[in-house]
Amino acid sequence: MNQLSPEEKNNLPRHVALIMDGNGRWAKSRRMPRLFGHRNGVENVRAVVNTAKEVGVPYITLYAFSTENQNRPSDEKSGLMKLLEEFLKKELSSMMEDGIRLRAIGDLSGLPDFAQKIVEDTIEQTQENENWNLTLALNYGSRQEVLKAVSKYAQNHPGSANVPTWEQFSPYLETAGLPDPDLIIRTSGEFRLSNFLLLQAAYAEIFVSPLHWPDFGRDAFLEALADYARRERRFGKTSEQIQPSVHIL
Ligand code: FPP
């Protein structure tokens, strides 16, 4: 797919979150080391972010490193952190030119100092940008995020037995200020959320691509957006409530 139709452009998600899976398998199939897959995965981050800007998806969130990824061999972890540093250094000028604001979710204190520093510096330098929003999930786990949010909420409401509303509770999550994801894309054919945005994904549409992440380029991303545009999101309501005119005829 090369282009979206005008109708598809009218039904784009506002926030797409991506689980970038399959870098290792992509590299293995080429008899190359896993880091070669991650390096090509980073190239693909550029392709997807550029496509989001091209068609007008203002929020992109990338699952770059999960709490469970901490269990990977140390050379793979340090390689990933170096790729992250290289990416942010290289992209800063275009982020400023294009008005991209960087955010991070996850426990940054669990990253090596140099990685934590470049992420924090880039967040600070881009904080006034408001055209596009790129969020990196780094050392992120949804359960850990929720447990921390519960603890902070309880600290701020000592002695209260009231059950909070979602509107009262959600600002305690690390995604405070971001809209919920409308579409979650996972590459490499696995049908799992893997501890990613579990509460925020309550009404997200899910798209699974058989392609490994380094192969999930512009065309595949457009396919996913077109597929999303054809779906009917009911948020628990009936089809008739969502589109009354269609059913009156
Ligand atoms: C999953 O592939 C991918 C990751 C664990 C890391 C994703 C990270 C990047 C693409 C690079 C860093 C990101 C940025 C934004 C600079 P896998 O290794 O689990 O693949 P496999 O399941 O085939 O082994």
pLDDT tens digits along 133-187: 999 999 999 999 999 999 999 999 998 888 999 999 999 999 999 999 999 999 9
The closest residue, in CA terms, to atom 22 on ligand 1 is: 22
Q: What is the pLDDT of residue 248?
A: 52
Q: Which of 34, 27, 18 is nearest to 77 (CA)?
A: 34
* CA–centroid distance, residue 41 to ligand 1 (Å): 7
Token pair of 219 as six digits: 């065309």
Give residue 65 CA to ligand 1 midpoint distance, Å.
Answer: 7
**Residue 221, exposed/middle/buried by CB under 10 A (0-12, 13-18, 19+)?**
buried
Residue type present at position 68: E
What tens digit of pLDDT does each residue of 199-241 get?
A: 999 999 999 999 999 999 999 999 999 999 999 877 778 888 7
CA of 26 to the centre of ligand 1 (A): 10
Residue nearest to atom 8 of ligand 1 (CA): 64
- Which residues lie with the beta carbon below 6 Å from any ligand 1 atom? 20-25, 38, 41-42, 45, 62, 64, 69, 80, 83-84, 87, 136
What does the pLDDT look like over 4-23, one tens digit per residue? 999 999 999 999 999 999 99
- In angstroms, rounded to a whole number, what is the distance separating the alpha carbons of residues 91 and 241? 44
Specify the ligand 1 atom closest to the Cα of 44: 10
3-state class of 200 per DSSP?
coil
Which residues belong to the active site? Answer: 21, 69
Residue 108, classed as helix, strand or coil, is: helix
Q: Is the pLDDT of residue 246 over 70?
A: no
- Report which ligand 1 atom has the smallest distance to the Cα of 86: 16
* Average predicted confidence (pLDDT) for the chain: 95
Give the Å distance between the CA of 249 and the centre of ligand 1: 49
DSSP, collapsed to helix, strand or coil, labels residue 207 as strand
The number of angstroms, rounded, from the C-alpha of 199 to the middle of its chain's C-alpha atoms is 14
Calculate mean pLDDT across residues 59-83.
96
Tell if the pTM clears 0.85, that is, is over it: yes
